[in-house]
Amino acid sequence: MDNKALAADLKAIHGVDTLEIAEVNLEQFDKVGGDKYPHVVKSWRSN
């Protein structure tokens, strides 16, 4: 996953209308990029 893909995935979490959609998108990001970016997933889950 490159920086542009990372930014697009994070926008899909941050820029949505509902918490439910953000949670689904975070789960998807965790499956795809969680191994490479565990600190990102941890940060999103704790905030």
Q: Which residue has the higher pLDDT, 2 or 27?
A: 27
Q: Which residue has the higher pLDDT, 46 or 47?
A: 46
| Structure-block tokens of residue 12 | 């899909």
| Structure-block tokens of residue 21 | 């959609």
Amino acid found at 44: W
Query: Tens digit of pLDDT for each residue in 4-36?
Result: 988 999 999 999 999 999 999 999 999 999 999
The interaxial angle of helices 38-46 and 3-14, nearest 10 deg, is 20
What pLDDT score does 40 carry? 92
Whether the pTM exceeds 0.85: the reply is: no
Which pLDDT band, with edges at 50, 70 and 90, does 1 fall under? confident
CA end-to-end span of the chain: 23
